[in-house]
Amino acid sequence: MKRKIVDMFMMLIQELLTTLNPSNNHKKILCENLTLRGCFGALEALEEGESEQDAIIHSLIGKIAEVDLEIARMVENDVVMSLLKLA
C-alpha cells in the first residue's frame, strides 16, 4: 500500500508537468507545493487508518487545491480516481 502512495505522488508530479500548458504560471508553483512532505502526510494518514483514496485526496490533492482548486479537481477526477479504480 505504501508503494502505491509513492507511485501516485510521482504520477501526479508527472501529470502536472506534462499536461499543463507550459505558459501556465501555476505549473511550477503546483509542483513545488506537492512536496515529499505531502507524500509523507498521505503515508501517515494511511497508517492512521484512512483508505488509500482518502489519504491521497486529503493530502496530495489537497496540496494542489491550495494553489488551484480547478486543477486539483481535474487531477482528482482524471488521474486519481481512474488509477484507484484499476487497483
Calpha distance 81→23 (Å, rounded): 27
Q: What are 5's three cell numbers?
A: 502512495
Reference 64, options 22, 18, 28; nearest CA is 28
pTM of the model: 0.77
Per-residue tens of pLDDT for the chain, all 87 residues: 678 888 888 888 888 877 766 566 677 788 778 888 888 899 999 999 998 888 888 898 898 898 889 888 888 887 777 766 655
Q: Could you tell me the CA-to-CA distances from 64 to 55, 67, 87 in Å, in that order?
A: 14, 6, 23
Q: φ and ψ at 52, to 5 degrees?
A: -55, -45
